[in-house]
Amino acid sequence: MKILLTGGCGFIGSAVIRRAIASRAHEIINIDKLTYAASREALGAAAEHPRHKLIQADITDAPAMRAAFLAHQPDAVMHLAAESHVDRSIDGPADFIHTNITGTFTLLEAARAYTATLPVERRAAFRFHHISTDEVFGALADTDPPFDEHTSYDPRSPYSASKAASDHLVRAWGHTYGLPVIVSNTTNNYGPWQFPEKLIPLILINALQERELPVYGDGKNTRDWLYVDDHAEALLRVVETGTPGATYCIGARQPRRNIDVVRAICAILDRKIPSPRGAREQNIVFVRDRPGHDHRYEIDPITAERALGWTATHDFESGLAATIDWYLEHQPWWEAIRAGAYAGQRLGKGG
């Protein structure tokens, strides 16, 4: 299968490409704008593989998207490109509206025009897989059941609102124009190559550097944590075997409060690299809460597990330990990012 994948130098997209090139016969056309959170290094051996081609382009550039479809004749789209950091969306929502909504619209229109040129069989086999988030469903109380494919939308931040809008566009293009679309929604991902503004790498690196460990509010906000390689496998199964018009909620059944995640990172580092200053947990500081901070996200993945023959293989403890080992082994990568960040680029508090 030839897949046009957007955002392939990002955290999740690069994991999908590494897996697709290593274990499948797929050919990947990687469309990436190469913004601040992108990393060519994250592609690993896939970067120079003959079945991978990187095109630096903006998904809001309609002529460029139409040209990519016509030049490469993909069998499927995996749309991962997005602005995704909630803190940034609060500070500057315009980029989120432009990329997540206008970009998705532009890509849908390019796909619609392209599929109209295909023979009937190829058009029927084509897939447009849109990768989204559980944040479009709003927030859960502690006693609420997890989100599933039937949960109503209730986005609470500029980021989640922009993703909700893009989800609705994708389904509308499926219903109105017959484009074979699939939507998947996922939980908080973590693992190698995640940009250091997100909660786990932010806390991990701050702890290594003996900095304060900022936690929003009282730290009781809860997230369901999915190791990125498990998510990448699920996404490939969706594009390979998913049903047009379907939604798949992809999660790991690993909910943790933010404060417990932070403490777990401190405990692992204290065992691996004891600090002469004592336990790193003493560096935790509770900071002013984020505006509109959603209390809890959690997904029930039973439908996806049954339909895709997939389950997450990493529990949170083993996944977190593997993630910490990776960051310890790739210090030059995140040090270079940190140098730029502290010179003027914003780092949030994650979660």
Q: Which residues are catalytic?
A: 134-135, 159
Q: What are residue 52's DSSP bridge partners?
A: 28
Task: Give the tokens for residue 266.
Answer: 């401190």
Ramachandran bin of 247, using left for φ above 0, alpha for ψ from -120 to 50, beta for the remaining angles = beta
For residues 248 and 146, give the distance between their C-alpha atoms in angstroms, rounded to a whole number.
14
For residues 180 and 285, give the distance between their C-alpha atoms in angstroms, rounded to a whole number.
48
Could you list the beta-strand ranges (E) of the chain: 2-6, 27-32, 52-56, 76-79, 127-133, 181-186, 188-190, 213-216, 222-227, 247-250, 255-257, 284-287
Count of C-beta atoms within a 10 Å radius of residue 276: 5
274, amino acid identity: P
